[in-house]
Amino acid sequence: MGVGGTLDYISSLLRTRSSSSHKSKKKKVMQTVELKVRMDCDGCEIKVKKALSSMKGIKSVDINRKQQKVTVTGYVEAKKVLKKAQSTGKKSEIWPYVPYNLVVQPYIAQVYDKKAPPGYTKCFAEEIEQSQ
């Protein structure tokens, strides 16, 4: 086995390893995940931001404490982001509100929510479709 044969052998080994690892990995898509996280103070905000920023694939973490809203952008899955936010001990859920202009009747009893931030209403797609 000469130098050429050795190089062929090594390159074939590298191809088989890389092709087998590519099959098992799914390609993640850049997405934005919005969460509602209960935050009362600067310490809560820092704790949540630090935890989410430490995740692999996160590009940015924006927090609006007044609306209790955390927006995460990156190559991540929503379930994993939610789980990481919940691991901080803060009450967290996927952002449950939509802007008023996306809802046909935002003031019907099933949709209207007094706790929703200004300009938003609770997202209940089933009730909206039934009321029409």
Q: What is the mean pLDDT of the chain?
A: 79
Q: Decide if 11 is inside a domain.
A: no
Q: 83 and 115 share a domain?
A: no
- Count Cβ neighbours within 10 Å for each residue of 105-120 and write b for 16 or more, e otherwise: ebeeeebeeeebeeeb
Say if pTM beats, i.e. exceeds, 0.85.
no
Residue of 22, 52, 34 whose CA lies nearest to 95: 34
Q: Decide if 6 is inside a domain.
A: no
Q: Are 119 and 102 in contact (CB under 8 A)?
A: no
Instruction: Calculate mean pLDDT across residues 51-65.
Output: 94
The parent domain of residue 104 ranges over 98-131
Instruction: Calculate mean pLDDT across residues 78-85.
Output: 94
Other C-beta atoms within 10 Å of 89: how many?
12
Q: Decide if 3 is inside a domain.
A: no
Report the C-alpha gap between 34 and 60 in whole angstroms. Answer: 12
Confidence of residue 10 (pLDDT cuts 50, 70, 90): confident
Q: What CATH number corresponds to the domain at position 43?
A: 3.30.70.100
pLDDT in tens, 44-53: 999 999 999 9
Q: 102 and 68 share a domain?
A: no
More confident residue, 17 or 105: 105
Q: Decide if 8 is inside a domain.
A: no
Q: 71 and 36 share a domain?
A: yes
Total structural domains in the chain? 2
What type of residue sits at position 36?
K
pLDDT above 50 for 9: yes
